[in-house]
Structure 1
Amino acid sequence: MPEGHSVHRIARQFDRNYVGRRVAASSPQGRFVEGAAVLDGLEVLSVRAVGKQMFLEFERDTWLRVHLGMYGAWDFSGEILVDPTIASANGRMGQTNQRGTDDAVLDDAGENSLSSIGAPRRARGHVRMSEQTSGLTREDEEWPPPVVGQVRLRLLTEVTCADLRGPTACQVQTPDEVAATIAKLGPDPLVDDVAAGEERFVEVVRRKPTPIGLLLMDQSVVSGIGNVYRAELLFRARVDPHTPGRDLPEDVVRGLWRDWVRLLAIGVETGQMMTMDDLSPDEWRAAMAHRDDRHWVYHRAGLPCRVCGTSVLLEEMGARKLYWCPVCQVA
């Protein structure tokens, strides 16, 4: 499932390529025909991401809400304008350059992690904006591009095409409905005032008997955290995922929020959920080249903990896989 960093990057891509332009909207799959008809011919006015959800504002007080869920993805083709706040003109990520690794790195899935923009995947000449990988669209592709597979919604400008596949939610909303949807979401460090968001997060977590491993995945408590960030945040804080929120010391809860602020910023910049600290340039390149080397415990069931050597455990929590160290994360 795309986590918060990917959705923010996707929103920035829409801001670069769609805001200020009119769109031809259609539903090739046929499951969003009425909604597409409402959007067809309208100008895109703004875009915002909150946690795992994205909201496109159109003229006539019309909004499109999209939640990619587990399997959703945006495929972009045509003219793709790169956000300069995310990548430099040569497609490399600023943070990686600062670490002295200027060359592109292809990971074990054939991804150029350094030119990733919110997790685009090279697919039939498109740029897929979902959860991993990278690539830029080909200049020689057919225009407009042929529809491939089940496309819920196609948004087409004169030069750019965005195809939405497999979302959990895709609906037209009024301004009041958008406000109501966002009001149900927890704080997002890239949307809300960071200090105010911290207070909201701390207040909610410290009165809940629910295990912190579930609270971090609750989008009404905090926005954007998914399975990978949950495991990594808890390990980095050395917190047992089963600990009730109300039993955690205040400084620990504040530390979780502040670490989320930091990791989310890194994810938006690099397009990868990099959660390892203090890596040498060579170690950084290796981690960017192999997903499983970017994390402390995620996807490491049965492997030795990078700190204590104990086997990392895997269990189900909240209907999702939870990875954690039974030694490092027990007080």
Structure 2
Amino acid sequence: MSNVIKEQQPLDLFFVRPHEAKVLSLIRQLESGTGPKAYGVIVMVVPEGATFKKTQGAADRLNRAILKEEYGVDSIEKLPCAKVLVFMEKFLGKFPLCIRNEASLERLKSANKCSEAEFERIKAQSKDAKSVIDKLMKEKKISKEDYDIVYPPPHTSSVYPSNAVGAYQFISNTLAPLVEKHKLENVPFSPKVQDFLACKLLHKRHFDDFLNKTLVKEELKITKKRLIVTKHEGKIKVTEENIKVIKQKGDIKVTLEEFAENLSKEWASFPYSADGLSYYHADGQNKALVKWSELLDVLKEAKVLYDEMKKREKEEAEKKASTIVTS
């Protein structure tokens, strides 16, 4: 019996409830696609135009070859979370792996304001990463064509727009503290673990306050960003301004629309408002991939599922209490 309990513990730890699954499904669809392959996605390369499939395919082949050579696995899902973070920094970091001259490295050092110690560490790590790629090319485990697509000549930069991994496109700055907090360093970056981590981000963005209609206990002052969209000579221009919002005691802390706004700060594929723009629209790389109304509909459905779950729990608790009294 004890063996059965041990096998069930991880499933309980990483259990996702129906209302959470409803929102997670939409996030996966927008961030990395549908189906089980979404959990193995490494950096969604998104150049404009018809080069997407070619570039993404080359990146996938290159990354899988690196994983096999360096870690002996064929998918990032099989790597322990700590090694996922090492892989991200070493092979997907903001510093290109293919810099060949000191002058280019110095320019990067200046642009990123690195300390001398940090710069030396990055240089050593980049050199090690480059040696892995050189070995793969020499052994023809990756092609020069794929290499040149991912690292365009003269090999001083990467086409990667970010260093995100998995079904929810975790960036290292988000993933690292989650892994540390929940002590997942030696746990594989499996679909269940990815769902679990994404759930933690949902709740960090006040999912519980939205679901429970939590009320403000004392005056609350909030600063929000507002996107202002204007058109000039047929071109759309987006500017930002900060606005102050004051919530009084007894107000709903997080409304439906406010929770949607919160999610857009975590996942750039969500719109920030009815304008349909990503919260990170201004960087020129991020676009919302779902309509505001559709996002709100999914969140409403999640709330219905949550209310149904709480109702069942209450009925079961009352039934149990009644049984105890009568016995």
Higher strand fraction (1 or 2): 1
Does the alignment reach a TM-score above 0.5? no
Question: Structure 1 length normalisation: TM-score?
Answer: 0.26
User: Larger C-alpha radius of gyration, 1 or 2?
Assistant: 2
